[in-house]
Amino acid sequence: MRIAIVNDLIMAVEALRRVIAAVPGYEIAWVALNGREAVEKCAKDRPDLILMDLIMPVMDGVQATSSIMKNSPCAIVVVTATVTGNAAKVFEAMGCGALDAVRTPVLDAEGKIEGAAELLKKIAIVGKLISADVPSLKLEAGQKKTAATAALPMIAIGSSTGGPKALAQILSRIPRSLGAGIVIIQHVDSSFAGDLAAWLGEQTGLCVTLAQDGMLLEPDRVFVAGTNDHLVIGPDSTLHYTQEPRNYPYRPSVDTFFHSVKQHWPRSDVAVLLTGMGRDGAKGLLGLRQAGWHTIVQDEKTSIIYGMPKAAAELGAAVEILPLETIADSIVRHLNN
């Protein structure tokens, strides 16, 4: 994998160089000291992955990510001194197309690198997303859909690359009194899932919280998947986390959640698949459409990455293919009817 480094701090560049050089098959494509230089270099030599700093002179990481994804799109992971301290900028960068974020490895006084394992884990996941075939999910045998009972409506939303900004736009247009429980599966590391929930809460009048094991859905409340395990609906219609499937690169998985909803949720409501790289969510959305759900996918023009929505559209999983700005209206209209 050819990896580019964008960082204005020499010590940070050196730490990143050492981490990458230690892994066979990884090589440095180029180094840029600010966002503008990164945009120019990416246009001439597109790497497999860019490790993008956030705070830089001339052009910051958010602006550079936006420009690269528009003109020379490739996988980008934000690498910053503090993920939680820069939460707003992290989600802004992810809204522009960054896949994930991780703390910058640090060289200590003895020349050892702290944080290398976490970075390498992120790089390995990106490698799977951009190159590996993803195995199809197998449903657990013996599980049956619960009998229909009186239950509140559910809005199930899956998203990945570009998802935070898309989610914020949708949630900002959902009225407080709609009466539905909203569950969001966004590909995001657990280390800043809490910051994502808090940030989304600032964009909407709805209550946004991290999903906890055993929680019941509540009307006009948003539940965000909050661990590196998969969020599911159990036979008791409550939220649970599971490690299976263990080898699935998308964590938390939209497909896993959608499949569990089909099996265990007693109603057929609204499911949405937004911008993102790969195919996660497509098969699960198809299952929900076949079960009578109203299914929506984001259109190509408004998607940062038209991967997941495209896969769903090709499978015939979408009742509607809509631009981002009309998705909330469609959700409200369907539930009100």
> In Å, how far are 71, 206, 259, 323 from 237, measured between CA atoms?
44, 22, 13, 31
Q: Residue 217 and residue 224: Cα distance in Å, rounded?
A: 11
Q: Residue 276 and residue 58: Cα distance in Å, rounded?
A: 29
- Catalytic-labelled residue, pool 269, 280, 294, 299: 280
Q: Do domains 2-131 and 154-336 have the same CATH topology?
A: yes
Cα 35 to chain centroid, rounded: 23
| Structure token pair of residue 306 | 């038209």
- Catalytic-labelled residue, pool 187, 240, 259, 264: 187
In this prediction, residue 38 carries a pLDDT of 96
Backbone φ and ψ for 264, nearest 5 degrees, come out as -120, -15
Q: Residue 180 and residue 137: Cα distance in Å, rounded?
A: 28
Instruction: Domain 2-131: give its CATH code.
Output: 3.40.50.2300
| Structure token pair of residue 327 | 């998705």
Q: Is 177 among the catalytic positions?
A: no
- State the average pLDDT over residues 160-176: 93
Q: Residue 111 and residue 78: Cα distance in Å, rounded?
A: 24
More confident residue, 314 or 89: 314
For the entire predicted model, the pTM comes to 0.78
| Structure token pair of residue 233 | 């609906």
Which residues partner with 107 through β-bridges? 113
Q: Is 294 among the catalytic positions?
A: no
Q: Residue 35 and residue 55: Cα distance in Å, rounded?
A: 9
**pLDDT digits 0-9 by tens, 49-77:** 999 999 999 999 999 999 999 889 999 99
Considering only 113-122, 188-197, 286-295, which range has the smallest mean pLDDT? 188-197
Backbone φ and ψ for 252, nearest 5 degrees, come out as -70, 155
Backbone φ and ψ for 39, nearest 5 degrees, come out as -60, -45
> In Å, how far are 20, 181, 336 from 177, measured between CA atoms?
50, 11, 11
In this prediction, residue 129 carries a pLDDT of 74
Q: Is 280 among the catalytic positions?
A: yes
Going from N- to C-terminal start, the domains of the chain cover 2-131, 154-336
Instruction: Domain 154-336: give its CATH code.
Output: 3.40.50.180
Considering only 124-138, 241-255, 303-317, which range has the smallest mean pLDDT? 124-138
Read off the pLDDT band of 83 (50, 70, 90).
low
Read off the pLDDT band of 109 (50, 70, 90).
low
Q: Residue 38 and residue 16: Cα distance in Å, rounded?
A: 16
Considering only 188-192, 194-198, 256-260, 286-290, which range has the smallest mean pLDDT? 188-192
- Flag whether pLDDT at 134 surpasses 70: no
- Catalytic-labelled residue, pool 67, 160, 253, 303: 160
**pLDDT digits 0-9 by tens, 18-56:** 999 999 989 999 999 999 999 999 999 999 999 999 999
